[in-house]
Amino acid sequence: MRTHYCGDLNDSHDGQEVVLCGWVQRRRDHGGVIFIDLRDREGLVQVVFDPDRAEVFSRAEQVRSEYVLRIQGRVRPRPEGTVNPDLPTGMVEVLGLELEILNASETPPIQLDTHSADASEEIRLRYRYLDLRRPEMQARLRVRSQVTQAMRTFLDGQGFLDIETPILTKSTPEGARDYLVPSRTHPGEFFALPQSPQLFKQLLMMSGMDRYYQIARCFRDEDLRADRQPEFTQLDIEVSFMSEDELMGLMEEMIRALFQEVSGVELPNSFPRLSYAESMRRFGSDRPDLRVPLELIDVADLMDEVDFKVFAGPAKDPEGRVVALRLPKGSELTRKEIDGYTQFVGIYGAKGLAYIKVNEWSAKGREGLQSPILKFLPDSAVQGIMERTGAEDGDLVFFGADKATVVNESIGALRVKLGQDLNLMEEGWRPLWVVDFPMFEHDPNSNRWVALHHPFTAPKEEQLDTLEQDPGACLSRAYDMVLNGTEIGGGSIRIHREAVQRRVFKLLNISDEQAEDRFGFLLKALKFGCPPHGGIAFGLDRLVMLMTGATSIRDVMAFPKTQTAACLLTDAPSAVDENQLKELALRIRPRA
């Protein structure tokens, strides 16, 4: 129906007759002539209709925004002075010779030209087909498609097989709530939508598939905080007979190829590796944003004897932590800004935000410092802080003192916020691996050990014998890939021996009966020659969000849902017939 995309025209087409199909971005009448900006996936081009050609001109007069047109015309250079350097097609225009209105449009509730203000997200989701016409949204979905194709091409070249695993499956217990699907043929029973293909990919390794991948849809029925979606997509990978070093190297190669191919960006040749312990110590986080040149510095040993309970308490508590965070040139912060940061750390449970302004330490020593807490600190403590942080005149030092979890979360978040607010961030991409995670975390509520990753993660070989003696000290063979403060991938070497899997279940307080009921098929499969294996999963939505600079994962999905897990476009979920419920042996429970 067409010869060219609108956005592909340039002066090499001068004089050619072309046929274009697209949408009316804008119609202007100027000096007796009609100008139509015609838009398709590749871009815009200006089409001109002269009143000389009366029939086609009068048809052009009927045209409104978002009408769908088929236009035959001749490409010509724009008259001098009307070239538009901002538009890739801006040196040419098309003289309209024929015009067919393929479809009309009502006035759209979203303005699609670049000058208009943004519509509300509700309108954008309800009229998603209009929102997606915006070049910005088109570009994001295009990047997404390029990313998955680049992943597939890389993995295909490495001998990976793309294998589909079921969507209608058994509950996989990974912490979150399952979406359930009632079975009609087995009344009263339910399938679950997978939270990930975890157990199936392990079964594929037991099936001898050796190298598996899948761009897999996953489902979690969680309350949608912040930026989550009930269904999301991951690049799911599993391999046999490969060490974590080999797998991590291969994955680095893949991510490098991806960035190179899709964004033309060169990532570092080898990603640094940080242990979980070091990452928490230096950044208060297991997904540190390395672009921020600030670090947490432990000062508890300087504080345990001071006469200031806010510091001395956590300093003496084995579960406490006291840190300093030096902010170069931070003494320029106003009282109001510091109050703002105090509120900010409060979100993470910090009860306050102590600080010292370093005005003239070099010349005046202690007298050159300014702080409400200074009076509590003996000289030795002040001296120690200044030495350890390396603070200089003009700097500011923040303090966090509380349970270690509170300090890590609050000062870790403050670190990133300061980086953003004060423009301290390095440019570009700073990937890393975080490794040596603990196997177990102690949950104080239930007084139980819980898996930091999932119950199929293998412990370090050298700790196998002593697993039960000190579960809290046991490290796992897990690894997370972190990029600019976002965890983009996580995985581990898995348990491949039945006895070890049973011991880990037991440590997690899963009884033999529960294990049999929920994981009986896995335990059985482990008896029949399971190879050593491991894998990783990358969050596709989040990765594409990073690569496109989008601020929400909803902006990199074609048809996302709202925070209450509804689709405003199709109006799902919705009521169903009594008959359908009967077939499924279900009844709606009256509200309590």
For a copy of itself, the binding residues in 265-294 under the rule CB under 8 A are none
Which position among 149, 270, 343, 514 is part of the footprint of a copy of itself (CB under 8 A)? 149
Q: Does 72 bind a copy of itself (CB under 8 A)?
A: no
Stretch that binds a copy of itself, among 76-84, 143-151, 381-389, 484-492 (CB under 8 A): 143-151
Stretch that binds a copy of itself, among 198-206, 381-389, 404-412, 442-450 (CB under 8 A): 198-206
Which position among 71, 203, 258, 280 is part of the footprint of a copy of itself (CB under 8 A)? 203
85 or 529, CB closer to a copy of itself?
529
Which position among 217, 273, 388, 502 is part of the footprint of a copy of itself (CB under 8 A)? 217
CA 467 – CA 474 distance, rounded (Å): 6
Which position among 13, 27, 124, 128 is part of the footprint of a copy of itself (CB under 8 A)? 128
Beta-strand pair 448-451/478-483: unpaired
Query: Looking at this protein, which amino acid is placed at residue 486?
Result: T
Which position among 17, 210, 393, 487 is part of the footprint of a copy of itself (CB under 8 A)? 210
DSSP state letter for 577: -
Instruction: Please say whether the dihedral angle defined by the alpha carbons of residues 344, 346, 350 and 351, taken in this order, is positive or negative.
Output: positive
319 or 517, CB closer to a copy of itself?
517
Q: How many residues sit in the footprint of a copy of itself (CB under 8 A)?
A: 121
Which position among 2, 329, 503, 506 is part of the footprint of a copy of itself (CB under 8 A)? 2
Indicate the helix (H) or strand (E) that contains 274.
strand 273-275
Tokens of 39: 């838009």
Tokens of 88: 């890739």
Beta-carbon contacts of residue 85 (< 8 Å; ≥ 6 apart): none
Q: Does 589 bind a copy of itself (CB under 8 A)?
A: yes
Nearest approach, Cβ of residue 517 and a copy of itself (Å):
8
Q: Does 176 bind a copy of itself (CB under 8 A)?
A: no
Query: Looking at this protein, which amino acid is placed at residue 509?
Result: N
Residues numbered 520 to 549 that lie near a copy of itself (CB under 8 A) are 520-521, 525, 527-532
CA 372 – CA 154 distance, rounded (Å): 57
Stretch that binds a copy of itself, among 193-201, 253-261, 390-398, 474-482 (CB under 8 A): 193-201
CA 539 – CA 234 distance, rounded (Å): 5
496 or 542, CB closer to a copy of itself?
496
Q: Kindly report the CA angle at 553 between 551 and 555, in degrees rounded to 5?
A: 75
242 or 250, CB closer to a copy of itself?
242
128 or 281, CB closer to a copy of itself?
128
Nearest approach, Cβ of residue 476 and a copy of itself (Å):
19
- As a whole number of Å, the end-to-end CA separation of the chain is 59
Binding annotation for L-aspartate:
174, 220, 453, 494
CB atoms within 10 A of CB 431: 20
Nearest approach, Cβ of residue 580 and a copy of itself (Å):
7
* Contact in structure between 201 and 172 (CB atoms under 8 Å): no
CA 504 – CA 452 distance, rounded (Å): 12
Residues numbered 232 to 271 that lie near a copy of itself (CB under 8 A) are 233, 240-243, 246
DSSP state letter for 329: T
Nearest approach, Cβ of residue 410 and a copy of itself (Å):
31
Residues in the chain: 592
221 or 360, CB closer to a copy of itself?
221
CA 19 – CA 2 distance, rounded (Å): 5
* Contact in structure between 92 and 84 (CB atoms under 8 Å): no
79 or 208, CB closer to a copy of itself?
208
Which position among 98, 121, 231, 304 is part of the footprint of a copy of itself (CB under 8 A)? 231
Three-class HEC string of 459-513? ECHHHHHHCCCCHHHCEECEEEEEECCEEEEEEEEECCCHHHHHHHHHHCCCCHH
Binding annotation:
174, 220-222, 229, 453, 487, 494, 539-542
Indicate the helix (H) or strand (E) that contains 162.
strand 161-162
